[in-house]
Homo-oligomer: A and B are copies of this chain.
Amino acid sequence: MRIVVLAGGIGGARFLRGLKQAAPDADVTVIGNTGDDIHLFGLKICPDLDTVMYTLGGGINEEQGWGRTDETFAVKGELAAYGVGPEWFGLGDRDFATHIVRTQMLAAGYPLSAVTEALCARWQPGVRLLPMSDDRVETHVAVDVDGERKAVHFQEYWVRMRAAVDAQAVVPVGAEQAKPAPGVLEAIAAADVVLFPPSNPVVSIGTILAVPGIREAIADAGVPVVGLSPIVGDAPVRGMADKVLAAIGVESTAAAVAGHYGSGLLDGWLVDTVDAAAVQEIESAGIRARAVPLMMTDTGAAAAMAHEALALAEEVRA
């Protein structure tokens, strides 16, 4: 079975670990979000790709969900001693090495997809990890600060500001001109099923879908497309998805997110058992829905979710 998964960071990575347990023999291609990539200290940092790679490769800091295990922060401390920031972005010493290798390879002319493949040669994530695009896409968030509207990088909004102010708009800058990375459209066309993990529907999966050609390829693939709600009981399971959903006028409910993707794209949608009442509304909009436990408390729980998603896909197909 060939499965294509659109993934953001922590939620996507943990779901993928469950999927690999639930379907160990499946051929999994991950299309990773690169809209939250950032250049810091002259280095190219791809937080979502790295979170997937480290999580599946056994190098993740389990507790925080991102960054490396047994991490130290000597480089960052020294940069601060030189007065060089930003200090709000947590870059550990081990993590730095990944960005150094990536930056060197990009400078040598390799596209991000080739760089990602080279990094994965070490991590052996057990999936094929593709960036959504080799072209630069950078998610910016419009915020009002002291009565003035300004655009900040998504990382600045998310990490430094902790989404404490409302997002007025979310713009994946460069997406319109971006091309899907080599292999992305081919993987979608060859897929037996496409899954949307409980990743952020705006700044993770939404950004991937903003690359021209990807949404269309998924809609045209003629295979089940099944997603899992990142909203449980009207609140995001993790992160601050409600802030960016509000910016695009979508309610923070499992049903509203399903409606946002729409029946033209989505065939099946899993909501948490606490949102069982929403199943009927979602199905009346033409999307098959089931209520199952959606809290990824451990890999077993994530595997059960993946199993339910694949089961719903088979139901859709039948």
Q: Interface on A for B, CB 8 Å cutoff?
A: 41-43, 72, 74-79, 81-84, 92-94, 96-98, 100-101, 103-104, 107, 119, 122
Contacts and interface: CB of A to CB of B under 8 A. Distances in A.
Nearest to A72: B74
Contacts of A41: 100, 104
Contacts of A100: 41-43, 75, 79, 84
Contacts of A74: 72, 74, 92-94, 97
Given A74-B72, A75-B75, A42 B103 contact: yes
A42 B198 CA distance: 37
Most B CB within 10 A of own CB, among A41, A74, A81: A74
A86 to B, nearest CB: 13
Contacts of A101: 79, 82, 84
Contacts of A81: 97, 122
Report the copy number of this chain in the oligomer: 2
Nearest to A106: B42
A42 B93 contact: no
A42 B104 CA distance: 6
A53 to B, nearest CB: 12
A127 B73 CA distance: 30
Contacts of A122: 81-83
Given A42-B100, A78-B98, 16 more contacts: A42-B103, A72-B72, A74-B92, A75-B75, A75-B93, A75-B94, A75-B100, A78-B93, A78-B94, A78-B96, A78-B97, A82-B98, A82-B119, A82-B122, A93-B93, A96-B96
A98 to B, nearest CB: 7
Contacts of A83: 122
